[in-house]
Structure 1
C-alpha cells in the first residue's frame, strides 16, 4: 500500500471514528457526562443486528433501519430512568453509573453470546472496492461509513440550529437553569440528546461489525478511540469529532505503512501530544 493510499484509507477510517465519537461528544457537550458504556453500546448494537439477521432472515439494510431508531428510543429511556437520577448527584455519580452499565452489558453479552468473535456479513458491499488510480482503492463500506458520518453531523447540526427543540437543547447546554425558566424541560431535552447519542453509536457499531470481527469485551477499546477523537478534535465540538477521527485514522494508517507494530501506539501519542500542547483540542467548541 503506497503512502497516498494510506492517507486515503486513514481519512476513510476517520469517518468510522467520528461516528463513534459523535454521541460521546453530544453527551459531554449537553450534559457534561462521559459515558463509559459508549463502546459497549456499539457492541450491543452489533450483536443485536447479528441476532436479527440470523433469527429473522431480514436483509441487512432493513436490520440497520430497525436498529438505529430502536437505540434512539433506548437512549431516551436510559436517560430518563437511569442517568437523570445520577445527574443531580454530580459527575462522579454519572461516571460510576455508566461504568456499572458497561460492566453489566459486557457480562450480559458474554452470557448470551459467549466470548466467541463474530462478524456481520455484509457480502460484496463489505469487501468490494473501486480504484481511483492504479495505487488507490476505495472500499464501498469505508466510503459509505464516511458519508454516513458526514450526513449524521450535518443532520444533527441542522436539528440544533433550525428546530425549536434543537435550540432548546443548545440553551440547556449553555445554562440549564435559565433555559428552565424559559420553559425548557431539562429531562426531556437531555433524553433527546441521549437518544441522538445512542442512535449514532448504534450506527457506528453496525458499520464496525461489517468491517471487523467483534466480541463482548471490545467495547472499552472502541470507547478509547472515540474519546481520543473527541479530545483531538475539541471537547464538545461536533465537527471536531470528524477532524479528530480523521487525524487519528491517518496517523494509524501512516504508522501501519511504516511499521504495523506502531499502529495503535502512534494514535495514542498524537492524543497525548494534543493534550499536552492544545488541551482544548483542534476545534474547541460546544456540542450544542
Structure 2
C-alpha cells in the first residue's frame, strides 16, 4: 500500500503541471481553455518531430518549443480570445473547443494515427528508478516531474506576488477597467499571461511524451485530468493545484487496486464528490463556483 501511495503522489506532480496552465489562464482571463490538452499534445509532437527528424534531444528541444508555445499563447489571446470575449462568456469557450478540433485533426493529417513517444530519445531516464526502504521503487522521471511541478508552481507564485508585472496581471484579473486607470495595460497583461500559460502547457506536453505514448486525439483525456485536478484543489491557489493533482492521482492509484477499471473511476468519483460538496455548500452554479474559486488567485 505504501508503494501505491508514493506512486500516486509522484503522479500528482504530472497532473499539477498539466493543470497549472488551465488554472492560471482562467484566473487571469476567466476563460476555460478547451484546447488546453490539444496544445499539450501539439508540443509533444513538436518535440518528437525535432528528435526524430533532426536528432534534437527533447530537453534541448524545449529551448525551441517553449518560445514557440509562448508565441502561440500571445497570438491566441490577441487574435482569438480577446475578440471572442466581446461576444459574451460562452463564445471564448466555443472558440477554444473549435481550436481543439482543428489542432487534433491537423495532427492526425500530418502524423497519422500511430502512437508516438519521447521515451526512446531520453535514454534510461524513462525507466531508471531508485530503490527506497520497504522495496519501494521510485522512477527518476517521476521524481523529476514532481520537482518540476514544485519549481513551476513556486516560481509562478513568486512571479505573481513579488514582481511588478505579476501584480499587474493580478490587478487585471480582478478589475481590468480600474487597473487601466492606474496605468496597467490590460491587453498586454492578458497576452503575457496567455504566453506564460502556454509555456507551462509545453512543459506538460514534454512530460506527457516522456512518460507515456500519445496520439493526435490524446488531448481530451489530458484536458479532463487537468480540469479535475484544478477543481479538486480549489484553483484559488497555485499550490492548491498541486494538492488537487495529488488527490486525483491517489484516488486513481488506489482505485486501480480495487478494480481493473478503478483507475479512471476512482479519480472521476473523487472529482464528482468534491464538485457536489462545493456546489451544495456555496449555493452557486458551476460557473459561479469557478468564478469564485479561480478569481481568487494567490
Is TM more than 0.5 here?
yes
Instruction: Measure how far apart 1:63 and its partner are.
Output: 0.8
Determine the structure 1 residue equivalent to 2:213. Answer: 213
Determine the structure 1 residue equivalent to 2:231. Answer: 231
Give me the whole-angstrom Cα distance separating, in 2, the residues matched to 1:249 and 1:62: 29
Does residue 287 (structure 1) correspond to residue 290 (structure 2)? The answer is: no
Determine the structure 2 residue equivalent to 1:197. Answer: 197
Are the aligned partners of 1:20 and 1:222 in contact in 2 as well (CA < 8 Å)?
A: yes
Instruction: Measure how far apart 1:135 and its partner are.
Output: 2.2
Give me the whole-angstrom Cα distance separating, in 1, the residues matched to 2:190 and 2:25: 8
Instruction: Measure how far apart 1:257 and its partner are.
Output: 2.2
Instruction: Measure how far apart 1:61 and its partner are.
Output: 1.6
Are the aligned partners of 1:25 and 1:287 in contact in 2 as well (CA < 8 Å)?
A: no
TM-score, normalised relative to structure 2: 0.92
Give me the whole-angstrom Cα distance separating, in 2, the residues matched to 1:25 and 1:172: 16
Does residue 58 (structure 1) correspond to residue 47 (structure 2)? The answer is: no
Counterparts of 1:270-281 in structure 2, within 5 Å, are 270-279=270-279
Does residue 259 (structure 1) correspond to residue 269 (structure 2)? The answer is: no
Determine the structure 2 residue equivalent to 1:111. Answer: 109
Instruction: Measure how far apart 1:153 and its partner are.
Output: 0.6
Instruction: Measure how far apart 1:256 and its partner are.
Output: 1.3
Give me the whole-angstrom Cα distance separating, in 1, the residues matched to 2:240 and 2:71: 26
Cα shift readout 1:44-64 (whole Å, capped 9, x = no counterpart):
001000000111112222012
Instruction: Measure how far apart 1:284 and its partner are.
Output: 4.6
Determine the structure 2 residue equivalent to 1:269. Answer: 269
Are the aligned partners of 2:254 and 2:266 in contact in 1 as well (CA < 8 Å)?
A: no
Determine the structure 1 residue equivalent to 2:284. Answer: none
Q: Tell me, what secondary structure is at the counterpart of 2:138?
A: strand
Give me the whole-angstrom Cα distance separating, in 1, the residues matched to 2:127 and 2:67: 26
Give me the whole-angstrom Cα distance separating, in 2, the residues matched to 1:193 and 1:21: 15
Give me the whole-angstrom Cα distance separating, in 2, the residues matched to 1:130 and 1:118: 26
Are the aligned partners of 1:42 and 1:205 in contact in 2 as well (CA < 8 Å)?
A: yes
Give me the whole-angstrom Cα distance separating, in 2, the residues matched to 1:66 and 1:124: 23
Cα shift readout 1:140-198 (whole Å, capped 9, x = no counterpart):
11000011011001111111111111100011111111001111111110011111111
For structure 1, list consecutive stretches of 5 or more residues without a partner in the other structure: none
Instruction: Measure how far apart 1:87 and its partner are.
Output: 1.5
Give me the whole-angstrom Cα distance separating, in 2, the residues matched to 1:284 and 1:32: 11
Give me the whole-angstrom Cα distance separating, in 2, the residues matched to 1:72 and 1:236: 23
Give me the whole-angstrom Cα distance separating, in 1, the residues matched to 2:24 and 2:76: 15
Give me the whole-angstrom Cα distance separating, in 2, the residues matched to 1:144 and 1:132: 16
Q: Tell me, what secondary structure is at the counterpart of 1:249?
A: helix
